[in-house]
Amino acid sequence: MIRPLAEKVHSCSYCGKRFGRADLLKSHKRTHTGERPYSCNTCSKTYAHPSQLRIHKRIHTGEKPYSCSHCGKRFNEHNQLKVHLRTHTGERPYSCKECGKTFSNAGNLRIHERIHTGEKPYCCAQCGKRFNGLGDLKTHYRIHTGERPYSCELCKKTFSQTGHLTIHMRMHTGERPCKIHLLALNHISHSISADGVCLQYLSQR
């Protein structure tokens, strides 16, 4: 007897979730057992599902099969493209229950929610300073390493953050990033970051 496709007869012994196919149940059980049988032959990183391994391998091959129809930017995962498209559409489907602020992806919402909880799970091994987002920690590490990966194409000056490079580029276009710069002839001082960017301007953003 051929069972209807919608019938879910295979049940997970760990959580009770049901599946229509035995192979889907087997794959699901790995979330409980931690089994990761699929290994990358380039870097030996392991995965629970073959689809995860296929996506990972694109890091090594440089393959980016998903292209944005608005700007042409390419991605190696369909979900990355889906999130990126929200920068064009303005869609922000994830909302903070505490303050109502909205976000384009769930990851940014989780980071934001730590502002309300005070949670700072990422700690700098060098100085002990804590951060609520991994990206903030990575940026902070550059203070210790001296890494400045963002370079101005016009004058080759380098920066530790993309935001600092953006502000710097306005110097070439003639746009002044803060009112204090207009008073420079009067020798009015103001604090700057390690990248030479006006901190007063940054605080206004």
Domains and CATH numbers, the chain: 42-90 (3.30.160.60), 92-147 (3.30.160.60), 149-205 (no CATH)
Q: pLDDT band for position 66 (50/70/90)?
A: very high
Question: Quick check: 45 and 56 in contact, CB under 8 A?
Answer: yes
Asked if residue 36 has pLDDT above 50, the reply is yes
Q: pLDDT band for position 200 (50/70/90)?
A: low
- Indicate the average pLDDT of the chain: 84
Asked if residue 185 has pLDDT above 80, the reply is no
- pLDDT number for residue 176: 55
Asked if residue 183 has pLDDT above 50, the reply is no
Please state which of the ranges 37-51, 153-167, 186-200 shows the lowest mean pLDDT: 186-200
Q: Which two tokens stand for residue 29?
A: 């059980």
Mean pLDDT computed over 124-145: 92
The proportion of the chain whose per-residue pLDDT surpasses 90, expressed as a percent, equals: 66
pTM, full prediction: 0.54
Q: pLDDT band for position 188 (50/70/90)?
A: very low
Asked if residue 197 has pLDDT above 90, the reply is no
Higher pLDDT, 162 or 15: 15
Mean pLDDT computed over 17-37: 92
